[in-house]
């Protein structure tokens, strides 16, 4: 992928996304996880401190070797058992109906194929299992959406393939998962094209 993408981007994301408001949103979402958990795009493990006592263990999957090195360091202080897999979320090396919870925070913006990843989430979730997500994407405000479309080609180059303009709320809603709750809006401080977020949960029947 190149030195910049392999070495610099994972560290940039680690430092850019650990502010107080990020932590608050992570804590509220991840605290709802339970049972066996798969976290896709675990990156440097910034969610790990927020898993609660209802979690049996966490498996984190991420394509970035450097990200997983950082995550292993964070896992030493995590309140739960954690193991890691280097790979993409399009093909999770797990049997059908393995996990009670799948977690994704600011990950679906950069995967190669959102529909494939969401289908894989459905496959590995147990019946009744939950998908907890916190993602950013396309705003309903046309002025903001216009800037997201203009900025996305640059973001893809400098931020690990990030798309600001993916309608992830609609893509999750159109999947085989059933939306249980979704909050949308500018949930973080900063320029609106970057902070339109979708926070919620979806269930597998």
Q: Please give the tally of structural domains in the chain.
A: 1
Residue 106 contacts residue 47 (beta carbons within 8 Å): no
The pTM of this model reads 0.96
Long-range contacts of 19-24 (CB under 8 A, 24+ apart): 21/188, 21/189, 22/46, 22/188
pLDDT at 1: 53
Distances (CA, A) of 65 to 31, 160, 192: 26, 14, 31
Report the first-to-last Cα separation within the chain, whole angstroms.
38
DSSP run (H or E) holding 148: helix 142-158
pLDDT at 55: 98
Query: Residue 135's domain spans which residues?
Result: 3-203
Q: What angle do CA 125, 129, 131 make, to 5 degrees?
A: 80
Name the stretches of the chain with pLDDT < 50.
none
Per DSSP, 145 falls in state H
pLDDT at 184: 97
Query: What is the spatial distance between Cα 179 and Cα 38, in angstroms, rounded to a whole number?
Result: 19
**Which of 106, 120, 122 is CA-nearest to residue 168?**
106
**Torsion (CA) 63, 66, 71, 74 in degrees, nearest 10:** -170
pLDDT at 4: 80
Query: What is the spatial distance between Cα 101 and Cα 37, in angstroms, rounded to a whole number?
Result: 5
Query: What is the spatial distance between Cα 8 and Cα 167, in angstroms, rounded to a whole number?
Result: 27
CATH number of the CATH domain containing 9: 3.40.50.150
28-41: b (≥16 Cβ within 10 Å) or e: ebbeebbebbbbbb
Query: What is the spatial distance between Cα 52 and Cα 27, in angstroms, rounded to a whole number?
Result: 10
Share in percent of the chain as helix, strand, coil (round to 5): 40, 25, 35
């Amino acid at each position: 992928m190149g030195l910049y993408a392999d070495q610099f981007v994972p560290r940039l994301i680690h430092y850019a996304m650990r502010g107080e408001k990020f932590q608050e949103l992570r804590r509220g979402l991840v605290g709802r996880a339970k049972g066996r958990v798969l976290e896709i795009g675990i990156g440097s493990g910034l969610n790990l401190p927020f898993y609660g006592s209802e979690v049996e263990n966490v498996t984190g999957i991420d394509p970035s070797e450097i990200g997983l090195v950082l995550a292993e360091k964070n896992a030493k202080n995590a309140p739960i058992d954690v193991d890691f897999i280097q790979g993409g979320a399009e093909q999770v090396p797990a049997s059908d109906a393995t996990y009670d919870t799948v977690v994704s925070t600011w990950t679906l913006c950069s995967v190669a194929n959102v529909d494939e990843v969401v289908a894989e989430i459905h496959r590995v979730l147990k019946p009744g299992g939950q998908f907890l997500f916190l993602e950013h994407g396309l705003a309903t405000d046309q002025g903001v959406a216009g800037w997201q479309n203009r900025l996305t080609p640059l973001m893809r180059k400098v931020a690990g393939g990030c798309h600001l303009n993916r309608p992830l709320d609609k893509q999750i809603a159109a999947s085989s998962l059933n939306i249980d709750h979704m909050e949308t809006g500018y949930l973080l401080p900063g320029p609106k094209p970057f902070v339109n977020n979708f926070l919620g949960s979806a269930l597998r029947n």
